[in-house]
Amino acid sequence: MTDKVLLTKVDNIGIVTLNSPPVNALSQEIRQGLLDAFSKAESDDSLKVIILMGADRTFSAGADIGEFGKSSLEPVLPMVCQTIESTSKPVIAAITGVALGGGFELAMASHYRIATNSTKVGLPEVHLGLIPGAGGTQRLPRIVGPKLSLEMITSGKPIKAKKALAEGLIDQVIEDTDSLKEEAIAFAHTLIKENQGPRRSSERKEHIEKQGNDKEIFINFKNSLQKTARGLYSPFKAVDAIKTAFTLPFDEGIKKERDIFLECMNSAQSKGLVHAFFSERKCTKFPEAMNENGPARDLSTLGVVGGGTMGSGITVAALDAGIKVTMIERDQESIEKGKHNVTKVYKRHIEKGRMTEEQVNKVLEKYKPSTDFDDLKDVDMVIEAVFEELEVKQEVFKTLDKIVKPGAVMASNTSYLNIDKIAAVTSRPEDVLGLHFFSPANIMKLLEIVIPTKVKADVVNTGLTLAKKMRKVPVRAGNCDGFIGNRILSKYGKVVAYMMEDGASPYEIDKAIFKFGLPMGIFQMFDLAGLDIGWANRKRQAATRDPRERYVHILDLLCEKGHYGQKTGRGFYIYQEGSRRGEEDPEVLTLIDEERKRKGITTRSFSEEEIMNRYIAAMVNESCNVLHEGMASRPSDIDITLLYGYGFPRYRGGPMKYADQVGLPKILDDIKKYYEEDSFFWNPSPLLVELVEKGQTFESLNK
């Protein structure tokens, strides 16, 4: 018998406690332990009520995701839930922390539910490409009806205890977390006193009868999912499963749910999403964090140099995390703009009812705009976000070196520049690192932590602390041109330009990319980011560009016309005043055509499949180079970078996971074929060649 599920007694009450830190995931051992404990409690005549609870600060985070993909081990969770529900004595789930997925299904199979105030309950299975598979789609609708069930299960979003109480999903909220056990025992005594027996969710009829034969809600809900769950599989299947709660008897509904659950479990989407779940946890495990000699330095005050797009976004992200920020700009006019950039974010929060004026004022008390670098003398960390020019950044770092206190961390938000060259102008390069945020920095979750040669472990760990405070997803990146994300983007950005010059219109390319699952096409993304940014970068690289490299001038020609994208109302698309949705521009097509003629290119057509094959091949090949050079720690870190920074569809797991699913030999074959056209660009990465030769996958490198 396991010691991870304990049965203890208080008076005539049995208490089944889950004790499998950190989150009481329902592994085979726990499931078996639950069956054993419930069967023992059932046969112990001295027990009148059973309480199910977590030993520590959480109830259960559901099925053990680590077991997914392995053959299912008995007893399966639906059976455990069935056993709990069939118990002849009342069962109370006493919940604290979270009850998610299978954890919440255990609670719904229990007859009564009480929860602490801060508890969250929900069915997040869709985030893993699944539907609830232990009765959730059948019990929840019987407890709360179709509307909330559809919302909770298809969005995967948990709800708070108070809302759950209002919806009749739990019976009592306990204000004081520490008294959960006492309150659960008191609740049990009340049941005994009032002679209350089990109240089984599966037997509840009120919502089923109320709903009758009305199926419209399910049709309408599926229609609305076309927008919110585009490309996803399991939310649509979840609607089918929930519908059966209203059309089939409970036992048959459970069978149907199981069939759909297993179908989803075997889908490529689920494998991609489960990979993303583990990858986003793995990427936080930097070698520096394992180094006991380098705990993070203090971090409660931040300086931000530059109040433009990025400086103000970083400032807001820090203020939101409760960090004091001093923002420095080069003159009064610029700092006024910086101030405006910051306050407009909070004004919008007030307009939208997300924050009150008092809350905003409280946050802004921590914000100090200034034009005096001396105001940075006491900050724990400074992030520089000035123009993307090495000399300008070096000047800023020379100044910082003179002013900031010893031990302060100095970071650059550069997109491409060499951090070693920035660190070298200071007397303390060991305190300098790259912190590459993504725009808008207060929204985008990705943070590349760039590791220059001399940086100390505790400085890197302070970067990790910042990421944690700001709830960013940190990825450890080597100090190369464009680090991980922008370096890979620069390759697939080129391949789309080549296809455009060879005959595919930018609109065809964007449609293919959108259909693949990205939120927008790449040319739409260029328009959004500003075509001038890439233009400046290409000019910077012009002197060192290899003459063998194919160069497409179309983007430069657009920039020369002043078409920088959304900010100028024209780029690859035309934007009507105030609109973010661009329309196709015939003049762009003419410009492209003229350029093709000037170069004497015989155009050809590209199918959507070929567009995506080339796009993915370029992405994967460069990712391999990044890995091969040690610029990323593992393939899954590249997946996280592309998922969180570049809109790669999460349900595909990221480009490395996707490549594994397509098969590396197929990708290498494509690259070799394209190599015949352009041997400079399509040079197969040595790592890809090696993996194919050894018959290995990227997954094998995910240590």
Beta bridge partner(s), residue 160: 120
- Residue 529 contact partner, candidates ligand 3HC, ligand NAI, none, CB within 5 to 8 A by sort of partner: ligand NAI
Instruction: Name the DSSP letter for residue 110.
Output: S
Task: Tell me the C-alpha distance between 481 and 545, whole Å.
Answer: 13
The residue at minimum Cβ distance from ligand 3HC is: 101
Tell me how far, at minimum, the Cβ of 21 lies from ligand 3HC, in Å: 9
Scanning residues 433 to 462, which ones bind ligand NAI (CB under 6 A)?
Answer: 437-439
Residue 275 near residue 636, CB atoms below 8 Å: yes
Pick between residue 142 and residue 476 the one whose CB is nearest to ligand NAI: 476
- Residue 385 contact partner, candidates ligand NAI, ligand 3HC, none, CB within 5 to 8 A by sort of partner: ligand NAI
Q: Which amino acid is at 286?
A: F
Task: Tell me the C-alpha distance between 674 and 677, whole Å.
Answer: 5
- Residue 159 contact partner, candidates ligand NAI, ligand 3HC, none, CB within 5 to 8 A by sort of partner: none
* DSSP H or E stretch at residue 119: none
Beta bridge partner(s), residue 302: 325, 381
- Binding to ligand 3HC by residue 635, rule CB under 6 A? no
Task: Tell me the C-alpha distance between 170 and 166, whole Å.
Answer: 8
Strands 301-305 vs 120-122: parallel, antiparallel or unpaired: unpaired
Tell me how far, at minimum, the Cβ of 461 lies from ligand 3HC, in Å: 17
H helix intervals, 407-530: 419-423, 457-470, 485-502, 506-516, 522-529
Would you give the binding string for ligand 3HC spanning residues 63-102, x where CB under 6 A is met? xxxx----------x--------------------x-xxx
**CA 207 to mean position of chain CA atoms:** 35
Q: Site size for ligand 3HC, by CB under 6 A?
A: 25
Residue 643 near residue 655, CB atoms below 8 Å: no
Pick between residue 328 and residue 632 the one whose CB is nearest to ligand NAI: 328
- Residue 439 contact partner, candidates ligand 3HC, ligand NAI, none, CB within 5 to 8 A by sort of partner: ligand NAI
Q: Tell me the DSSP string of 241-272.
A: HHHHHHHS-HHHHHHHHHHHHHHHHTSHHHHH
Tell me how far, at minimum, the Cβ of 676 lies from ligand NAI, in Å: 36
- Binding to ligand NAI by residue 641, rule CB under 6 A? no
- Residue 388 contact partner, candidates ligand 3HC, ligand NAI, none, CB within 5 to 8 A by sort of partner: ligand NAI
Number of residues assigned to the chain: 703
Q: Which of 42, 85, 125, 670 binds ligand 3HC (CB under 6 A)?
A: 125
Report the candidate in 290, 295, 335 with the shortest Cα–Cα distance to residue 312. 335
Burial class (CB in 10 A: 0-12, 13-18, 19+), 362: exposed
- Of 42, 125, 329, 384, the active-site residue reads 125
Q: Which of 311, 434, 474, 534 binds ligand NAI (CB under 6 A)?
A: 311
Per CB under 6 A, the segment of 101-109, 409-417, 451-459, 596-604 that binds ligand NAI is 409-417
Would you give the binding string for ligand 3HC spanning residues 250-289, x where CB under 6 A is met? -------------------------------x--------
- Residue 328 contact partner, candidates ligand NAI, ligand 3HC, none, CB within 5 to 8 A by sort of partner: ligand NAI
- Residue 614 contact partner, candidates ligand 3HC, ligand NAI, none, CB within 5 to 8 A by sort of partner: none
Buried b (16+ CB within 10 A) or exposed e, 191-224: beeeeeebebbbeeeebbeebeeeeebbeebbee
Per CB under 6 A, the segment of 301-309, 343-351, 452-460, 601-609 that binds ligand NAI is 301-309
- Residue 100 contact partner, candidates ligand NAI, ligand 3HC, none, CB within 5 to 8 A by sort of partner: ligand 3HC
- Binding to ligand 3HC by residue 232, rule CB under 6 A? no
Tell me how far, at minimum, the Cβ of 631 lies from ligand 3HC, in Å: 23
- Binding to ligand NAI by residue 559, rule CB under 6 A? no
- Binding to ligand NAI by residue 413, rule CB under 6 A? yes
Q: Terminus-to-terminus CA distance in the chain, angstroms?
A: 33
Residue 48 near residue 89, CB atoms below 8 Å: yes
Task: Tell me the C-alpha distance between 218 and 419, whole Å.
Answer: 54
Sign, CA torsion 12/16/19/24: negative
- Catalytic-residue membership of 595: no
Task: Tell me the C-alpha distance between 458 and 295, whole Å.
Answer: 5
- Binding to ligand NAI by residue 309, rule CB under 6 A? yes
What radius of gyration do the chain's Cα atoms show?
A: 28
Pick between residue 387 and residue 551 the one whose CB is nearest to ligand NAI: 387
Q: Which of 15, 49, 61, 555 binds ligand 3HC (CB under 6 A)?
A: 61
- Binding to ligand NAI by residue 485, rule CB under 6 A? no
Tell me how far, at minimum, the Cβ of 76 lies from ligand 3HC, in Å: 8
- Binding to ligand NAI by residue 170, rule CB under 6 A? no
Task: Tell me the C-alpha distance between 294 and 287, whole Å.
Answer: 11
Task: Tell me the C-alpha distance between 406 and 298, whole Å.
Answer: 12
Scanning residues 363 to 392, which ones bind ligand NAI (CB under 6 A)?
Answer: 385-388, 392
Residue 450 near residue 421, CB atoms below 8 Å: no
Q: Which residues contact 168 (CB under 8 A, 6 or more apart)?
A: 143, 144
Omega cis (within 30) before 249: no
Q: Site size for ligand NAI, by CB under 6 A?
A: 24
- Of 105, 257, 280, 384, the active-site residue reads 105
- Binding to ligand NAI by residue 306, rule CB under 6 A? yes
Chain position carrying tokens 């797991």:
653
Instruction: Please give, one letter per residue, the 3-state secondary structure of 273-326.
Output: HHHHHHHHHHCCCCHHHHCCCCCCCCCCEEEEECCCHHHHHHHHHHHHCCCEEE
Q: Which of 15, 25, 283, 500 binds ligand 3HC (CB under 6 A)?
A: 25
- Binding to ligand NAI by residue 328, rule CB under 6 A? yes
Scanning residues 438 to 477, which ones bind ligand 3HC (CB under 6 A)?
Answer: none
- Binding to ligand NAI by residue 303, rule CB under 6 A? no
Beta bridge partner(s), residue 50: 14, 91
Per CB under 6 A, the segment of 60-68, 214-222, 427-435, 498-506 that binds ligand 3HC is 60-68
- Residue 334 contact partner, candidates ligand 3HC, ligand NAI, none, CB within 5 to 8 A by sort of partner: ligand NAI
Tell me how far, at minimum, the Cβ of 386 lies from ligand NAI, in Å: 4
Instruction: Name the DSSP letter for residue 60.
Output: B
- Residue 146 contact partner, candidates ligand 3HC, ligand NAI, none, CB within 5 to 8 A by sort of partner: none
Coil, strand or helix at 470? helix
Pick between residue 55 and residue 390 the one whose CB is nearest to ligand NAI: 390
CA distances from 586 to 521, 532, 579 (A): 18, 21, 18
Residue 104 near residue 136, CB atoms below 8 Å: yes
Residue 12 near residue 54, CB atoms below 8 Å: no
Task: Tell me the C-alpha distance between 656 and 163, whole Å.
Answer: 40
Q: Which of 156, 307, 485, 506 binds ligand NAI (CB under 6 A)?
A: 307
- Binding to ligand NAI by residue 317, rule CB under 6 A? no
- Catalytic-residue membership of 549: no
Instruction: Name the DSSP letter for residue 548.
Output: T
The residue at minimum Cβ distance from ligand NAI is: 308
- Residue 527 contact partner, candidates ligand 3HC, ligand NAI, none, CB within 5 to 8 A by sort of partner: none
Q: Which residues contact ligand 3HC by CB under 6 A?
A: 22-23, 25, 61-66, 77, 98, 100-102, 105, 124-125, 127-128, 130, 132-134, 136, 281
Supply the residues annotated as catalytic.
105, 125
Q: Which residues contact ligand NAI by CB under 6 A?
A: 305-311, 328-330, 334, 385-388, 392, 396, 413-415, 437-439, 529
